[in-house]
Structure 1
């Protein structure tokens, strides 16, 4: 039974092809100028949402966000967050990805 809902709100669209877990490149994201300094927070929200969901089998994780950036094509914020987490292997309990204590 599901008892917890974890929502990670999308704020941008991942458009890159380079999924190197040791490097986050702003060029791989459809960022507005005011968001350039916030990219670490966005990727941190993605990994924290996955971590919380992995720690609680009664939870469901939703990446929210629609198609908001014309130059990003038909990819939604929510789907691109899922794609970023999946490509990093984070649904396999953070293989190669960030782990946090606490």
Structure 2
């Protein structure tokens, strides 16, 4: 079983539901962790909003709420707090992807 995922300097501990970078570690909320895991799993590929709602919330449509934006705001704060070079980028009309500040 895979217990860890990584993207750039960001590591995820699946069993502990934690994000690690350098010497910092943060336990992440359950739904936010599912979203971050999905993005890390896809690396720098764009993940559509439809796919995100299917995989994270189990719905097959965009419910027209701000729930994704709330989770993104939280995860962006977590990444900044970890001093990670990993960023979540929004591609209007396409979806989300991970990148590093070096890009």
Which structure has more strand as a fraction of its residues?
2
More helix by share: 1
Coarse TM-score class (shorter-chain normalised): 0.3 to 0.5
